[in-house]
Amino acid sequence: MESKPINKSKLFLASCVALTVTAMTFGIRAGIMNELGAEFEFTNRQLGIMAQMAFLGFPLSMIVGGLVYPKIGPKPIMWVAFICHLLGLILTITSTSFTPFLISTFLIGVANGAVEAACNPLIADMYTTNRTTMLNKFHVWFPGGIVIGALASQFMTGLNMGWQAQIAIMFIPTIIYGVLIFGQSFPKAENIASNISENISSMFSPLFIFMLICMGLTATTELGTGQFIQPLLENAGAPPLIILALVTGLMAVGRYFAGPVIHKFNPIGVLFFSAIIAAIALVILSKANGPLVYLGAFLFSCGVMYFWPTMIGFISEYCDKTGALGMSIIGGAGMLITGFSLPVIGGWLDAEKAKAAASGLAEDAVNLAAGQNTLDNIALLPAILIVCFGILFVMRKKLEERRIPQESH
Q: Residue 182 is part of a domain; what is its CATH number?
A: 1.20.1250.20
Per the domain annotation, does 64 fall within a domain? yes
Per the domain annotation, does 2 fall within a domain? no
For position 161, what pLDDT does the model report?
83
d(CA 92, CA 168): 9
Which has the minimum average pLDDT: 48-52, 111-115, 135-139, 171-175? 48-52
Q: Are 58 and 80 in contact (CB under 8 A)?
A: no
Per the domain annotation, does 3 fall within a domain? no
Per the domain annotation, does 118 fall within a domain? yes
d(CA 121, CA 216): 20
Q: Which domain holds residue 210?
A: 8-400
- Reported as a single tens digit per residue, the pLDDT across 179-238 is 998 888 887 766 565 677 888 888 999 999 999 999 999 999 998 887 777 777 777 777
- Reported as a single tens digit per residue, the pLDDT across 329-358 is 898 888 888 878 888 888 898 899 899 899
Q: Are 130 and 406 in contact (CB under 8 A)?
A: yes
Residue 86: C-alpha distances to residues 140, 175, 365 (Å): 23, 9, 41
Per the domain annotation, does 253 fall within a domain? yes
Q: DSSP state, 322? A: G
**Phi-psi map region of 186: left, alpha, beta (phi>0 left; psi -120 to 50 alpha):** beta
Total tally of structural domains belonging to the chain: 1
Per the domain annotation, does 406 fall within a domain? no
Sign of CA dihedral 337, 209, 311, 377: positive
For position 376, what pLDDT does the model report?
92
Per the domain annotation, does 409 fall within a domain? no
For range 229-254, the mean pLDDT: 78
- Reported as a single tens digit per residue, the pLDDT across 97-146 is 888 888 988 999 999 999 988 998 888 888 877 777 788 788 888 888 88
Work out the end-to-end distance of the chain between its first and last CA atoms, rounded to an integer number of angstroms: 29
Per the domain annotation, does 408 fall within a domain? no
pTM of the model: 0.75
Q: How many residues does the chain have?
A: 409
How much is the mean pLDDT over the chain?
Answer: 85
Which has the minimum average pLDDT: 52-56, 374-378, 393-397? 52-56
Q: DSSP state, 130? A: G
